[in-house]
Amino acid sequence: MKKQSILIIYTGGTIGMQRDDSGTLVPFDFNSIEKEFPSVRHLNVDIDVHKMTPINSSNVTPQLWTELAHTVRDNYDKYSGFVVLHGTDTMSYTASALSFMLEGLDKPVILTGSQIPLSELRSDGRDNLITSVMIAGEGIAREVCLYFSGKLVRLVDWL
């Protein structure tokens, strides 16, 4: 079986934060995700990361939605699926907008985030990230979906 390739698109949000030496939360470098979280190596997918300028999700605008849609479109032929890491405040709005902007999609675009940063011991982000990558890698959903807290939400069922 061919190994799937996933593009993780990091937009910001709690999921991508870590504490620096002073204890302040700063954005995590997702290019070292396999080093920081070796468990992703067991997912049987190749992972690349596209880091956008991190934004607080309460400041999301249609410009970000357009940039996300263009990133998926520009990389559509290179990857089996996409995982968008997003702040939780407006993640559902972004998922809804992308579901319209990416009509006719035949690959998974899974949005996820977390309430606790990935770097923290009891982060909900680990399951959200790993499961989202698994869903995207296995092609379970060939549409824009939101995965959070153990639930895969299909936007066609929700809108």
The first and second tokens of residue 42, run together, are 């067991």
Q: Nearest CA to 82 among 71, 90, 91?
A: 71
- Residue of 14, 88, 94, 112 with catalytic role: 14
Name the amino acid, one letter, at 82: F
Residues pairing with 147 in the sheet: 152
Q: Nearest CA to 99 among 156, 141, 150, 33?
A: 156
Are 155 and 146 contacting, i.e. CB atoms less than 8 angstroms apart?
Answer: yes
Mark whether 53 is an active-site residue.
Answer: no
Which residue bears the tokens 């990935």? 118
User: In angstroms, how far is CA 133 from the centroid of its own chain?
Assistant: 8
DSSP 143-157: SEEEEETTEEEEHHH
User: In angstroms, how far is CA 92 from the centroid of its own chain?
Assistant: 13
Active-site positions?
14
